[in-house]
Amino acid sequence: MKIIKVLIAVVVLAVIGSAATVMIAPAGTAAFLVDLKRGLGDLEKKEITLSSGLKYVYLESDNKDADTLVLLHGFGADKDNFTESAPYLKDFHLIVPDHIGFGESSKPEDADYSPLAQARRLHELFTLLDLKRRIHIGGSSMGGHIAMTYASIYPAEVKSLWLLDPGGVWSAPESEMARIIRETGVNPLTAKTEEEFRDVFDLVMSEPPFVPGFVKDQMARKRIANFDLEQKIFAQLKADSVEARVTGLATPTLLVWGKEDRVLHVGAVDVLEKLMPNVTTIKMDGIGHLPQLEAPAETAQDLKDFIAGLEQ
């Protein structure tokens, strides 16, 4: 009985200590949790500088003898959008960069943020990282837009594409997000307050993973600080259609779309299937705009099965 009381006391003290830590140093606690999540995927943070002076910050796994899988995050997100999936993708050598303009990478005010410019920067990054073998590229939303662009201008360097609700297919039916922008002129993917960021969080996922409120608030502050730049980047994205670029693109492609996506209409699947001759499609029930966060194990396994099928 005495041992049980001691154990209870230890647990109570641990809970009190954790709560105190969160109250006193929420930013540090949030950073610790991010590092913990990265560690589960064997990801280490690194950085490298391009010839232009722009800095890329990226995550990399140590499995360098395996096939390389590059993972590209979406608009307003960062490299940690793939830490939920990383533990299920340890069969690959993972490279997960913050795009220029996002996360911890450089954020020049007047840069070209078009998908073509981002793809060319990535090509220099991959060259500096000495990725001599052909690579698999996965992209979520804007990251999918950039991934398709990369494959279109460097087709010999890409073994396969993994597209998760990708952007750039602007002839698709109007989404809820597009309707909001048309009717109000406000982009619901951007945020000026912590409350608005929580609305963004709800918009992009139907089945979000649990994220403590203080972690969301730390995420919100980064988005708020980047608000003005994100307006410029979004305008450049909307001005760029990927459709002509990928017409006839034969790269083996796994196209995944959440049926509950409110950001980009699932009808874009029909457009891409007509344009790209080598597409395998999975539509996910009950999933929104970010399958890799909402169903990380399932989406990762689908990718592994797809790539295994290419090698048979």
Active site residues: 73, 141
Distance CA 290, CA 28 (A): 26
- Whole-number Cα distances in Å, 131 to 47, 87, 126, 204, 302: 16, 22, 6, 32, 24
Q: Where are the beta strands (DSSP E) in the chain?
A: 43-49, 55-61, 68-72, 93-97, 135-140, 158-164, 253-258, 279-284
Q: Which residue has the tokens 């003005």?
A: 228
Q: What does R_g of the chain's alpha carbons equal in angstroms?
A: 20
- What strand order describes the sheet that includes 93-97? 43-49, 55-61, 93-97, 68-72, 135-140, 158-164, 253-258, 279-284
